[in-house]
Amino acid sequence: MSTGLQPVITKAGLAAILTATKTGLSAEISHIALGSQAYTPSAEQKTLRNEVARFPISSGEKLSSTLLHLTAVADGAAAYWV
């Protein structure tokens, strides 16, 4: 069963995007990182708490001006709660 996850763009991430582009807002999401600690993420964070895996994006599409659908395949042998 799939569960939708609500990503949070951190202040550090937004600053990195703005510094890299200088001509406007543009970014490429290349990976999805998964962690095993339950908490509500904050825009102040700089890292994911207790990251256990990182997977490349396998596909994605823009559904609206504020909504993306991204897919990554978690195909490793490790088992953990997300």
- Give domain limits for the chain: 30-82
- State both tokens at 63: 């559904």
pLDDT for 2 equals 62
What is the C-alpha separation between 60 and 62, in angstroms, rounded? 7
* Residues of the chain where predicted confidence (pLDDT) is lower than 70: 1-5, 20-26, 82
pLDDT for 56 equals 92
CB atoms within 10 A of CB 49: 11
Confirm whether pTM is higher than 0.85. no
DSSP annotation of 60 reads: E
pLDDT for 32 equals 84
